[in-house]
Chain A
Amino acid sequence: MTLALYVPVGSPVHRLPAGVKLLCLAVLAVLLFARPTPTVAGAALVGTLVVGLGVARLPVAVLARQAWALRWFLLVLFVVHALTTDVATGAHTVLRLLTLVLAAAVVTATTRVSEMVRVVERLCAPLRLVGGRPERVGLLIAMALRFIPVLIERADRIRAAQAARGGPPRGVRALRTTVAPLLVQLLQMAHDVSEALDARGADDTPVRRPGRA
């Protein structure tokens, strides 16, 4: 999957089970909020960078992109805090936020989507107790991913058809004449897909073989 944010490098961090990495992230988040001092936040940031760039050997750009997306906000946050409370609080709030976002990016970049799906399925295991079926989560994820390109293709088709007829309707009318019909088409398609799946044995109901009591 070229779409994913996973960065394939063979490092110890990559080989660590996904569950362990997620647990570490959760512990870090609790720690950062439970001990709100600049020292803790600074140490955590350094640790995150060492793990992400040193141990996992991720390209700097992967982490820089996450930090860059937050640049203005972090700046404003720092200034607001520096003016209303004090510089130390501002620095540590910014550090804490940056650390958490970078740590989360490290987990994402070092863990395959398929591994994450397995973690999600395992987390859904308790659903069995209330009659749910955790293995259906995998089916749901696969279906959603398959629907994304189909959806884009259908939307393009409608757009092309309207262009051939002299341009799409603009403004509010487009909601009723373009978007709603597209959605109806897609719902029908989803219904067809579900019938095809059922025909291949994906149905909820247990199979009844004819001729058995």
Chain B
Amino acid sequence: MKTRDLAYIALFAAVIAVLGTIPAIPVGPVPITAQTLGVMLAGAVLGARRGFLAVLLFLVLVAIGLPLLAGGRGGLAPFVGTSAGYLYSWPVAAFVIGWLTERSWDRYNVLRGTLINVVGGIVVIYAVGVPVLKAVAGLTWGQALTGGALPFIPGDLFKAFAAAAIADVVRRSYPVIERPRRTATTR
């Protein structure tokens, strides 16, 4: 890993932190925040490995006691609370988005990017977040879904689109992801 990669990782950890200063909309146990936009961007701009590490670094900053989560939350409390599962899913989401983005790098456009961000940024996050919410709060599946997934879907769809639109411009003007190396078995 080059120093350049470390700088990119640190940069996106900072981006996610700054997105947390945009006021969150509190709806029930898990607030709507702009921070998942940063998670999607980390994967879509940096790729799987660096995107994963950037989000992980952000969570480390939160865990060591900096109030960087939306609404000024921080420390270890969010990692054992109701939104814990969502936090744990973030690095995985960035990795999945990055992995898929790398694979469609030559054909990337806003539509494709949006679909990728939906898979990584919505499906993956709820696949981890909702079961953890259910376990931590002792809810039924129906309650966990209505409280911890449905209110966020519209906002998440917009964030998936926004991240893809931004990533598409960045890809054309300052590509960070390298074209995947051609393997011996072509097609």
- Expressed in whole angstroms, the Cα–Cα distance for A190 and B138 within the complex equals 44
A contact patch SS: helix
Please, which residues of chain B bring their CB within 8 A of the CB of A150?
14
Q: Which residues of A sit under 8 angstroms from B57, Cβ to Cβ? A: 140-141, 144
Give the interface SS of chain B, mostly helix, strand, loop or mixed: helix
Minimum CB–CB distance for B67 against chain A, Å:
6
In the complex, the answer to whether A144 meets B13 with C-beta atoms within 8 Å is yes
The answer, among A69, A136, A188, for a CB contact under 8 Å with B174, is A188
**B 39-65 to A, binary, CB cutoff 8 A, 1 in contact else 0:** 001000100000000000110110111
Evaluate contact between B75 and A183: CB separation under 8 angstroms: no
Count of A residues near B, CB < 8 Å?
72
Question: By the criterion CB–CB under 8 Å, are A101 and B17 in contact?
Answer: no
The answer to whether residues A184 and B75 also contact, given A4-B65, A97-B136, A104-B80 and a CB cut-off of 8 A, is no
Is B45 a contact partner of A84 (Cβ separation < 8 A)? no
A176, B176: Cβ atoms closer than 8 Å: no
Contact residues in B for A137 (Cβ distance below 8 Å): 60
Task: Check: A5 CB closer than 8 A to any chain B CB.
Answer: yes
Partner of B65, one of A113, A145, A195: A113
Find B81's partner among A100, A117, A204 (CB 8 Å cutoff).
A100
Give the distance in Å from the alpha carbon of A113 to the alpha carbon of B9 in the complex.
20
Query: A120 and B64: CB pair below 8 A?
Result: yes
Residue with the highest number of chain A CB atoms closer than 10 Å, among B3, B8, B61? B3
A187 touches B11 (CB 8 A): yes
Residues of A within 8 A of B66 (CB): 3-5, 113, 145
Contact for A5 among B7, B65, B137, CB less than 8 A: B65
Instruction: Please count the residue pairs between chain A and chain B whose beta carbons lie under 8 angstroms apart in the complex.
Output: 184
A107 interface residue per 8 A CB criterion: yes
CA distance A39 to B63 in the complex (A): 29
Q: Chain B residues with Cβ under 8 A from A80's Cβ?
A: 139, 143
Beta-carbon contact of B8 and A187 below 8 Å: yes
- Contacts known (A101-B80, A107-B76, A148-B14); A72 close to B3, Cβ less than 8 A: no
Question: Provided the pairs A72-B28, A80-B139 are in contact, do residues A190 and B75 lie with their beta carbons within 8 angstroms?
Answer: no
Most A CB atoms within 10 A — which of B67, B74, B76, B137? B76
Residues of B within 8 A of A84 (CB): 140
Could you tell me if B60 and A190 are in contact, using CB atoms closer than 8 angstroms?
Answer: no
Interface contact A190-B76, CB-CB below 8 Å: no
A179 and B45 alpha carbons, distance in the complex (Å): 13
Q: B166 near A: Cβ within 8 Å?
A: yes
User: Which 4 pairs of residues, A with B, have the shortest CB-CB distance?
Assistant: A108-B75, A116-B64, A143-B10, A180-B169
4 new A-B contacts at CB < 8 Å, known A117-B64, A140-B57, A183-B45: A3-B66, A66-B77, A141-B57, A144-B10
Can you name 9 A-B residue pairings with CB atoms under 8 Å? Answer: A3-B67, A6-B65, A89-B138, A97-B136, A105-B75, A141-B60, A172-B162, A175-B165, A184-B174
